[in-house]
Amino acid sequence: GRITCGMWGWISAHGPGELVEVSLHMNTLEYVDILENVLLPSVRRIYAEEDMPTIRLVQHNSAVHTSRIVQEWFAQHPEVLNWPAKSPDLNLIENIWAIIVNSWDPGHERTRAALIAHARNAWEDLRREPQFFWNLHNSIDARLQQVV
């Protein structure tokens, strides 16, 4: 049968950030917890305060992302870019999810634990490809031109 797992991760032009397992039906409180306790600390570990870049998040327009509680959190934290509805192909992380999914070997043990381990291993493998992330980041202007 089909196996699934929920994962949340962030990337930048410099490579992948953190990847964490989330529930398949993530709620607003879980999302804010991830933003507060995974995203911000991991960005702070990578960038010194004086070198901290402007953080701009891209997220699709799910109810979790657009809830009042999340909007209040973002009012005091990183900038969120307005994102067109139903445009996941523009979101750079979709390329990463595709790599992870496409690198899954059907011969792998078909368990949720194996799938999570695969996702984490593939994510870590991508850390060795900093140029890929730089190129992906630089592709955003061309992607946006295609929808304008």
The domains of the chain, with CATH numbers, are: 7-145 (3.30.420.10)
| pLDDT tens-digit map of 74-128 | 888 877 766 666 665 778 899 999 999 999 988 888 899 999 999 999 999 999 9
Question: Rounded to two decimals, what is the model's pTM?
Answer: 0.85
Alpha carbon 77 to its chain centroid, in Å, reads 17
Other CB atoms within 10 A of residue 68 CB: 8
Other CB atoms within 10 A of residue 36 CB: 12
| pLDDT tens-digit map of 30-74 | 999 999 999 989 988 887 777 777 777 888 778 998 899 999 998
Cα–Cα distance, 76 to 87 (Å, whole number) = 26
Residue 17: its H or E element: strand 15-22
Q: Which residue has the higher pLDDT, 144 or 132?
A: 132
Q: Determine the Cα angle at 40 with ends 34 and 122, to 5°.
A: 65
